[in-house]
Structure 1
Amino acid sequence: MQSSIANPTEVLQQLHWRYATKKFDSTRKIPDDVWQTLEQSLVLAPSSFGLQPWKFFVVTNPNLRQQLVEPAWGQTQVVDASHLVVFTIKKDVNTADVDRYIARMAEVQQTSIDALEGLSNMIKGFLSEPPFPLDVNEWSKRQAYIALGQFMTCAAMLGIDTCPMEGFIPAKYDEILGFAEQGYTSVVLCPAGYRAEDDRAAARPKVRYETQDVLQYI
């Protein structure tokens, strides 16, 4: 059994330290080695069936980022943060996407596609005849939020600030960044970088209900 790698006290300390950063220091950039770890936290994010119905766009073009401020209701985090990640989903995931995933699994795990036929049929059956009412795009969006959570937690462990943002107009982002032509649509934003020294929100106590109010053993 693998022993604990992270110190529990330090993990809690970083989770208390994390907050939705309202003002980033635009002069500070995330070092390349740290960003590469955060990049891989997205690549390694879990999803239902492992299907990964998403793509993560890191907007680096300053002119594009400036255009994204207005459809984000004027929130300047999208330009002030070191990095801006736009979480998108593949629209209308279908059997072709399953075939692509199964082919990748066969490649990575060094097995045949035929050996994975049962898994392939199960996933396709879930998408075509789900056991509950299913809007496939809403399902994909829930997967994207799993990736967002992993990204934010890993960032906190590395001392990197983040700000999850639903306050933007997805259709405008899709238009400006050309997502529709690629078959994707934006779901949520997450600027990442370093908090500004004068961000007053950083000093506010974190408001959470007591443990017993939100967690129950049964």
Structure 2
Amino acid sequence: MTLLETLTHRHTTKAYDKTRKIPADIFAQLLEALRYSPSSVNSQPWHFFVADNDEGKARIAKATSGPFAFNAPRVMDASHVIVLSSRTTMPAEYLQTITDQEQIDGRYADDATKESITKGRNIFVGLHQKEGDLTAWTQKQTYIAQGFLLLSAALLGVDATPMEGFDGAILDQELGLKEKGLTSAVIVSLGYHSDADFNAKLPKSRLPEKALFTHL
């Protein structure tokens, strides 16, 4: 399919065929889509929790109780489920791991370049720490990763459901996120839709171009 065909074909899956699993080689590519997602100053302020079995999915599904119960089957029946979490802190040691990895990957032509890039990243993170909006900023970066995951899934013929309908406090406690300096941002279920997925049969509906774009 062309890119436009992929964009118009993909949809938020409402029901999964729990008998179908994503092949390992396909899922490995989806994890790479997350790993290679861009982020401001290459901060990579996220961590991804992956469940591909009933036990793991049940832990995530605990957060879909009460008013979010409608999402429980979309967690339990999917092939794989990923919790995208964002960092609540960006300590110096974490930033150093990024610098070290960039060094390993050959991102620095010389020590002056390394110092300049590292200093710039530390200043930018420090600005958000000073303004008190670090968590909001890291969550924005995590949503970029979600976009890469959803588009990659569609390109690979995998259905997906992004979910904010869950109790973040329950999920954070279940996964011990606070102790890790993380908080849950969004859940994405992945797999293949079933015949009960009414959304797969509906046409796309979006506002027209003239309502969305202003050409300057």
TM-score normalised by structure 2 residue count: 0.90
The correspondence of residues 64-213 of structure 1 with structure 2, limited to 5 A, is: 64-72=56-64, 73-74=68-69, 75=71, 76-109=73-106, 111=108, 115-129=113-127, 133=131, 135-213=133-211
Query: Aligned Cα RMSD in Å?
Result: 2.0
Q: Aligned letter for 1:42?
A: L
Q: Name the CA shift for 1:156/1:148 in 2 (closer, same or farther; >3 Å).
A: same
1:49 is matched with 41
Q: Closer, same or farther in 2 for the Cα pair 1:50/1:196, shift >3 Å? A: same
Higher share of residues assigned helix: 2
Aligned residues: 210
Q: Is 1:17 paired with 2:9?
A: yes
Higher mean C-alpha displacement, 200-209 vs 177-186: 177-186
Stretches of structure 1 lacking an aligned partner (at least 5 in a row): 1-8
Residues 112-121 or 155-164, more deviating = 112-121
How far apart are 1:127 and its partner, in Å? 2.1
Q: Which amino acid aligns with 1:162?
A: A
- Normalised by the length of structure 1, the TM-score is 0.89
In the alignment, residue 179 of structure 2 is paired with which amino acid? E
Query: 2:185 is paired with a residue of what secondary structure?
Result: strand
Structure 2 alignment gaps of length 5 or more: none
Structure 2 Cα separation of the partners of residues 210 and 134 of structure 1: 37
Whole-Å Cα distance in 1 between the matches of residues 138 and 213 of structure 2? Answer: 27
